[in-house]
Chain A
Amino acid sequence: MTLRIGIDVGGTNTDAVLMDGLEVISKIKTPTTEDVTGGITTALRHILQVSGTATSAVAGVMIGTTHFTNAVVERKHLQRTAAVRLGLPATAALPPMVDWPSDLRDVLGGQYYLCHGGYEFDGREISKFDPDEIRAAAADIRTKGIKAIAVSSVFSPVNPEMEGLAAAILSAEVPEAFITKSSDIGRIGLLERENAAILNACLRVLATQTVAAFRRAIKELGISAPLYLTQNDGTLMSADFAEQNPVLTFASGPTNSMRGAAFLSGLKDAMVVDIGGTTADIGALAHGFPREASVAVEIGGVRTNFRMPDVYSFGLGGGSHVSADPLKIGPQSVGYRLTQQALIFGGKVLTASDIAVAAGVANIGDASKVAHLSADLVAAAMNRIQEMCESAVDRMKTSAEAVPVIIVGGGSILISRPIAGASEMVKPNHFEAANAVGAAIAQISGEVDRVFSLASLTRDQALDSAKAEATAKAIQAGADPKTVEIVDVEDVPLTYLPGNATRIRVKAVGDLTLAK
């Protein structure tokens, strides 16, 4: 698999790169279009034409997208969603969506049903599953016209049966609804797993539309190579799987940028500042990988327990609105309409890109259109932009020592002066396409999630066997054996089963085998 296309569909721009092994052959940045497909088609056509590559030579298309994260953060394109939880009389103290920002809960409708069922830690039922109760909830859901449902049950990672029964009834009674089961999405921790299931459910319609648009775009160009999406841990998933599980793409954008920045700069330990059109993300690389957050990560204000990079985002990008008196930059942005609405492109909105052009540090659009801006405003705005970046870098640093800072992303034209606290500042080649490069070099994973009986095996033997199997699966899927490592190990003892059984989940990941 040597010729690969990496695409990053951001809120503002769509970036694409064509890579041959470790080399970037061609690249493009084009505005993200409302229909998603248009931008991708433009980008694909360009990189194939420029490089004179035949579509048949492409071995894989990897797409990273912040589409679903943005939808949650901006509270847009989300379906009204009902949460059905099995666990009564337990869990009533903290109902579904309890710790959510109220605006997001309002967008989703905040509808929930606390039902009987769920399991004790040892597999006993907390209370009897009641099909009539689920049917009543289904009838209410149908009456309210809700078409997305998340089902959760106490201890469903240990026994998913009741979630399955409830989902079957809901699916029969509300056939048009998309249903997400919490046991398919997350791990132990009812609230966090349920949150992830609810977010997944509210994104399903958007996921179907978006993945279909991705498929259409590559098909129109005659590319028959497999389509992958990148997940939050930097590994690939098939397009089919992504359509069912859009929540797994959360935070894949920053992961791709950071891995792309590490790859392009050759630096393994550094801070990465990725400035896009609307937001900037700051994260830390440790040994070439994004530093992982160990505390619960919030997405759009909602607590989850995914493995995610520790990233700080703030509202600064090339399209950020700038206003004077008082001076204000962002978080509003013209986003993908930069090339119509910014002054330098003949528009009427003063943006951060206009300021950078007026200050003479960037050369895009028509500089004469910003010649009238007062020198004081330009200087003050440039200082503010610098301050915003420096305080964010400082916030993410974990020691007072100066560290290398890698600057990537299209909006990085805003930064021309050295960042305080940086030992060196690196803008690598292809810096503006680091996210697409990150997608193109995304890793391959192999996963094992199975119940082992510890009657004839010790726990260590079972773990070793699961690790070996996950490693083999990763290699079989195309990972370079030399790079495969185990990134996640979890075991949940199933004390209620005879023979001392335990559920073991192991994930192995490795780099794609790249022929140079």
Chain B
Amino acid sequence: MRQITASQLDDIALGAAVLGTGGGGDPYIGKLMAKAAIDRNGPVTLLDPSEVDDDALVIPAGMMGAPTVMVEKIPRGTEIITAFEAIQNFLGRKATATMSVEAGGLNSTTPFVVAAELGIPLVDADMMGRAFPEIQMVMPSLYGIKATPMAIADEKGNSAILNTINNKWTETLARTMTVDMGCSAMLAAFAMSGAQVKEAGVGRTITQIESIGRTIRAAQTAHVDPIDAVRRATGGFVIWRGKVTDVARRTETGFARGDAFISGLGEFEGKSLRISFQNEFLIAQTEDEVLVTTPDLITVLDAETGHPITTETLRYGFRVAVLGMPCDRRWRTPAGIALVGPGYFGYKTDYIPIEKRYG
């Protein structure tokens, strides 16, 4: 158990952007909201998963929508509390703690708002160990844990409780609502017991992202190569260096989709890398080979500073390094690949673990 103060959120948000793999929402907005909540209510207690009672009620909370929308339509601030309280009312039980839906991007910090405002602890864990675009793409799905009852709320005051037959249906129905709500909504879902959190959660990821953020900052101060520092901190591989030549984006069916093209520099000269995204970077390939695919992580870093660049800020002319990082082992099971592998997103390629290509 430890206390998280507003000043620690800088490292947490920076590290979250690395695991955010280009998506997961602008960590800056999430950080400011979390800081404001902590300033109003005091530090947030972070619980190690081992400190959570088996019969505790843990309700994860987060944002759903397109990250490109979030940087424009900033939340009202009350949506996530509305959603969280709606689910507590539905269950007739107060939550013992809350938790992050994803360790990557904005959703690593959104539940800090719930924890601070409602005075409950946050579990040091998430449901992905990274960021993914759809609701059912969480580790608890592999353990048969249901997303619903789920509450979803917008800034206008609308909210709804969903009950669905499976987590894919939760995604389908909630996505439609999210689009109608302006592509940005807040949710509380996947109510779990403490025992379930320990089994189906990805543990200690808040501590992990805080450490990644600290590593980047320290590398800058000490003038060691920040790209190499991130690579070592995440067990990843540098798969590309180059200059962004085009970013084609579209906001459709409630997602920020598109492709980024990066012409190679140095040892990659003469070739172009294409990274496709649906909120998150999902597949990195050249004209003749696939380099990395989901569920392994693909992240784009500023070549000079090592700071991660999200899809919405990626622009023509940026000099970048692309990092591939191994995912949680459970994603590599047949059920994991079926849920979040390249085939699910329509890419006709088999998943090959990044260590097999680069290790």
Contacts and interface: CB of A to CB of B under 8 A. Distances in A.
Report if A and B associate in a common complex: yes
Interface of A: 87, 89-94, 98-99, 118, 120-122, 124, 126-127, 154-155, 188-191, 291-292, 294-296, 305, 310, 394-395, 397-400, 459, 463, 486-491, 493, 495
B251 A90 contact: no
A190 B318 CA distance: 22
A493 B36 contact: no
Contacts of B165: none
24 contacts: A87-B74, A90-B155, A90-B182, A93-B33, A93-B74, A93-B75, A98-B32, A121-B69, A121-B182, A121-B251, A126-B156, A188-B71, A189-B72, A189-B313, A190-B73, A191-B71, A294-B307, A294-B315, A294-B318, A310-B304, A487-B317, A488-B316, A489-B316, A495-B252
B182 A89 contact: no
| Majority secondary structure, B binding face | loop
Given A399-B225, A490-B316, A295 B76 contact: no
Interface string B117-158: 000000000000000000000000000000000000001110
Contact of B305 (A127, A294, A487, A493): A294
A397 B305 contact: no
Interface in B245-287: 246, 248-252
B347 to A, nearest CB: 21
B66 interface: yes
Interface string B310-327: 001101111100000000
Contacts, number: 114
- 5 cross-chain pairs, A with B, having the tightest CB-CB distances, nearest first: A93-B77, A120-B182, A91-B74, A489-B316, A90-B155
Nearest to B35: A99
A90 B32 contact: no
Given A488-B317, A490-B315, A493-B250, A91 B73 contact: yes
Interface in B144-190: 155-157, 182-183
B307 A295 contact: yes
A124 B182 CA distance: 8
Interface of B: 28-29, 32-33, 36, 66, 68-69, 71-77, 155-157, 182-183, 223, 225, 246, 248-252, 302, 304-305, 307, 309, 312-313, 315-319
Given A99-B32, A188-B68, A90 B75 contact: yes
A466 to B, nearest CB: 12
Given A87-B73, A89-B156, A122-B183, 19 more contacts: A90-B73, A92-B76, A94-B74, A99-B32, A120-B183, A121-B73, A154-B73, A188-B71, A188-B312, A189-B71, A291-B304, A294-B307, A294-B319, A295-B305, A295-B307, A296-B28, A305-B313, A394-B223, A489-B316
B73 A120 contact: yes
A98 B29 CA distance: 11
A84 to B, nearest CB: 16
Name, among A305, A398, A495, the residue most crowded by chain B CB atoms within 10 Å (CB to CB).
A398
Contacts of B251: 121-122, 493, 495
Contact of A94 (B36, B157, B183): B36
| Majority secondary structure, A binding face | loop
Name, among A120, A154, A495, the residue most crowded by chain B CB atoms within 10 Å (CB to CB).
A120
A210 to B, nearest CB: 31
Nearest to A127: B156
B250 to A, nearest CB: 5
Nearest to A118: B73
Nearest to B312: A188
Given A120-B73, A459-B248, A295 B302 contact: yes
A399 B227 CA distance: 11
Given A89-B157, A291-B304, A94 B73 contact: no
A459 B250 CA distance: 11
A98 B313 CA distance: 21
A121 B157 CA distance: 19
Nearest to B245: A489
Contacts of B309: 294
Contacts of B250: 493, 495
A126 B182 contact: yes
